[in-house]
């Protein structure tokens, strides 16, 4: 197992170095966007020289593409996790919670994505067209079905999805603003608020009355 061992040890080492580069690159790209980021800054953040960084990644674009690729894999998971067989309101609330968790746990990824969209999505339009759109279409159909069955209050499904994206990503993308306007504990709990908001919006009238009567 000499060759195999050596190769895996090397590959592990290589993997760690790449991870350090991607980590530093995420900081810089999330803060300044693709054009505003510099390889020198990324290399410094990763604790190495610029030529060494370019030994692991062929170009600035490649680093950026790798980050986006890794990110977009995660991006669709919460949408996919919606269970068509579940209770509609609870399924959507679960989706909201997952999205909010992602914003809390991966704020830089969220900002990277936001920056890319603001810049006109030049590098991720393929993902949006062939990855996100079909899944959204599917989910829109699912929501329409739920609404038609009276298990969900009648809402515009597309707008509903957009609203969830907006409300959850906001906490990551605009963290700097939130930290200034509502420093410390004054911000309240986004999770509880969103739960309340979507429960009120989505609970069908019949169910609401049943609860009222119950």
Partner DNA sequence: GCTGACCCTGACCGGATGGTCAAATCAAGC
Partner DNA sequence: GCTTGATTTGACCATCCGGTCAGGGTCAGC
CB of 195 to a second copy, least distance (A): 11
Which partner from the list DNA, a second copy, none does 55 bind, CB cut-off 5 to 8 Å by kind?
DNA
CA distances from 211 to 87, 93, 198, 214 (A): 16, 18, 16, 5
Number of residues that bind a second copy (CB under 8 A): 62
Shorter beta-carbon distance to DNA: residue 59 or 196: 59
Q: Whole-number minimum distance, CB 53 to a second copy, in Å?
A: 19
188 interface partner picked from DNA, a second copy, none, CB below 5 to 8 A per type: a second copy
Assess 35 for contact with a second copy (CB under 8 A): yes
CA 66 to chain centre: 16
Alpha helices in the chain (DSSP H): 2-36, 39-45, 50-56, 60-80, 88-105, 107-118, 125-126, 133-148, 157-173, 175-181, 190-202, 205-213
Q: Got the DSSP string for 163-189? A: HHHHHHHHHHHTHHHHHHHS-GGGG--
Query: How many other C-beta atoms are found inside a 10 Å radius of the C-beta of residue 100?
Result: 23
Q: 2 vs 214, which CB is nearer to a second copy?
A: 214
State in angstroms the smallest separation of the CB of 130 from a second copy.
Answer: 10
178 lines the binding site for a second copy (CB under 8 A) = yes
Residue of 89, 113, 95 lying closest to 204 (CA atoms): 89
Choice between 85 and 120, CB closer to a second copy: 120
Tell me how far, at minimum, the Cβ of 22 lies from DNA, in Å. Answer: 14
Asked whether position 125 contacts a second copy by CB under 8 A, the answer is: yes
Nearer to a second copy among residue 20 and residue 135 (C-beta):
135
């Amino acid at each position: 197992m000499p060759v195999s061992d050596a190769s895996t040890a090397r590959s592990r080492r290589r993997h760690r170095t790449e991870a350090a580069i991607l980590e530093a690159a995420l900081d810089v790209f999330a803060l300044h966007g693709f054009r505003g980021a510099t390889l020198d800054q990324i290399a410094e953040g990763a604790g190495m020289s610029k030529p060494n960084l370019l030994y692991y990644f062929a170009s600035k674009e490649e680093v950026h593409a790798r980050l986006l690729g890794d990110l977009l894999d995660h991006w669709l998971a919460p949408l996919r996790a919606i269970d068509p067989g579940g209770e509609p309101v609870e399924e959507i609330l679960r989706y909201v919670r997952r999205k909010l968790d992602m914003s809390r746990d991966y704020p830089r990824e969220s900002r990277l994505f936001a920056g890319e969209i603001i810049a006109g999505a030049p590098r991720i339009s393929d993902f949006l067209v062939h990855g996100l759109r079909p899944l959204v279409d599917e989910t829109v159909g699912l929501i329409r079905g739920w609404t038609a069955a009276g298990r969900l209050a009648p809402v515009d499904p597309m707008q509903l999805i957009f609203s969830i994206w907006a409300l959850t990503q906001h906490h990551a993308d605009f963290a700097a603003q939130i930290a200034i306007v509502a420093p410390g504990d004054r911000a309240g709990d986004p999770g509880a608020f969103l739960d309340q908001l979507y429960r009120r919006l989505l609970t069908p009238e019949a169910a609401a009355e049943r609860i009222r009567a119950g």
